């Protein structure tokens, strides 16, 4: 069982998500294909196991990185999260693609199992921003955001996550969140072009600075 996930991860890293074959996993396990169906209901369920596994690993990496930084250094904590996401994504591109790339066709990750681990990263980000806000370290206006229905949506989000930070910070946070994964995806998926940068980390650090500034932690 544990072995199935382990070998599945190897295949995922080697051949990618859509090429994940239960038969091949069974072969590597030295067992016939029907035998693994005793432990895993379907290929999709194996995919779900790998999704959860990936979210957990990313979450652990982010947790470890953020805890190494002083709790009062809000900007640096945010940078640590960004760097951890990027480093993990570059180390595990196939798993990253499974989590944040195009959905695998015909496969829908069951929400009850994946939303928990899936929100760990954004949860950490929100934690940092909220900390900065209550410490008075932010520099964003606390005026409510423009369209009223959007303000209502943001109010609901604030309530759900227990945030006291104002609309502008929540909205900017979502942008920074999406932008962070946009940058990482561009780099992992090679959208920038092959040899554009001598060291891609340079431009990432610059972007990270801009995102820190965008949420008022400059």
Partner DNA sequence: CGAAATGCAAGAGCACTGCTCTCTTTCGGC
Partner DNA sequence: GCCGAAAGAGAGCAGTGCTCTTGCATTTCG
Among 42, 115, 139, 191, binds DNA (CB under 7 A): 42
Both structure tokens of 91: 């180390």
Q: Which of DNA, a second copy, none does 190 bind, CB closer than 5 to 8 A by kind?
A: a second copy
CA–CA distances in Å: residue 44 to residues 17, 59, 113, 131? 11, 22, 13, 39
Q: Quick one: which segment of 33-41, 90-98, 116-124, 129-137 binds DNA (CB under 7 A)?
A: 33-41
Distance CA 89, CA 137 (A): 30
Contact call for residue 22 and DNA (CB under 7 A): yes
Site for a second copy in 30-69 (CB under 8 A): none
Contact 89, 96 (CB under 8 A): yes
CA 93, 176, 54 angle in degrees (round to 5)? 30
For DNA, the closer of residues 23 and 152 by Cβ is 23
Among 12, 17, 20, 125, binds DNA (CB under 7 A): 20
Contact call for residue 14 and DNA (CB under 7 A): no
Q: In 3D, which of 91, 95, 86 has the Cα closest to residue 201?
A: 86
The residue assigned the tokens 């932690």 is 217
Contact call for residue 2 and DNA (CB under 7 A): no
How many chain residues are in contact with DNA, going by CB under 7 A? 18
Q: Which of a second copy, DNA, none does 37 bind, CB closer than 5 to 8 A by kind?
A: DNA
Buried b (16+ CB within 10 A) or exposed e, 101-119: beebeebebeeeebeebbe
Count other C-beta atoms under 10 Å from residue 170's C-beta.
24
Contact call for residue 183 and a second copy (CB under 8 A): yes
Contact call for residue 32 and DNA (CB under 7 A): yes
Contact call for residue 210 and DNA (CB under 7 A): no
CA–CA distances in Å: residue 52 to residues 56, 101, 117, 121? 6, 15, 7, 13
For a second copy, the closer of residues 2 and 149 by Cβ is 149
Distance CA 88, CA 40 (A): 27
For DNA, the closer of residues 48 and 95 by Cβ is 48
Contact 5, 45 (CB under 8 A): no
Residues that bind DNA in the complex, under the rule CB under 7 A: 20-24, 30-35, 37-39, 41-44
List residues near a second copy by CB under 8 A. Answer: 15-19, 97-98, 100-106, 111, 115, 145-147, 149-150, 152-153, 157, 171-172, 174-175, 177-183, 185-186, 189-194, 196-199, 202-203, 206-207, 210-211, 214
């Amino acid at each position: 069982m544990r072995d199935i996930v382990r070998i599945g991860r190897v295949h995922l890293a080697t051949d990618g998500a859509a090429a994940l074959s239960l038969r091949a996993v069974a072969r590597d396990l030295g067992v016939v294909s029907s035998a693994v169906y005793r432990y895993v209901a379907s290929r999709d369920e194996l995919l779900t196991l790998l999704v959860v596994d990936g979210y957990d690993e990313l979450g652990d990496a982010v947790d470890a990185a953020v805890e190494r930084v002083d709790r009062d250094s809000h900007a640096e904590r945010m940078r640590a999260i960004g760097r951890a996401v990027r480093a993990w994504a570059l180390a595990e591109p196939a798993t990253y693609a499974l989590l944040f790339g195009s959905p695998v066709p015909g496969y829908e990750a069951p929400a009850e199992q994946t939303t928990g681990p899936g929100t760990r990263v954004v949860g950490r980000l929100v934690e940092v921003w909220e900390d900065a806000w209550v410490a008075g370290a932010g520099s964003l206006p606390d005026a409510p955001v423009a369209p009223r229905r959007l303000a209502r949506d943001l109010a609901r989000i604030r309530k759900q996550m227990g945030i006291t930070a104002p609309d502008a910070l929540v909205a900017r946070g979502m942008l920074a969140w999406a932008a962070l994964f946009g940058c990482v995806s561009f780099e992992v998926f090679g959208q920038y072009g092959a040899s554009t940068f001598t060291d891609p980390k340079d431009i990432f650090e610059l972007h990270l600075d801009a995102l820190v500034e965008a949420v008022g932690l400059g």
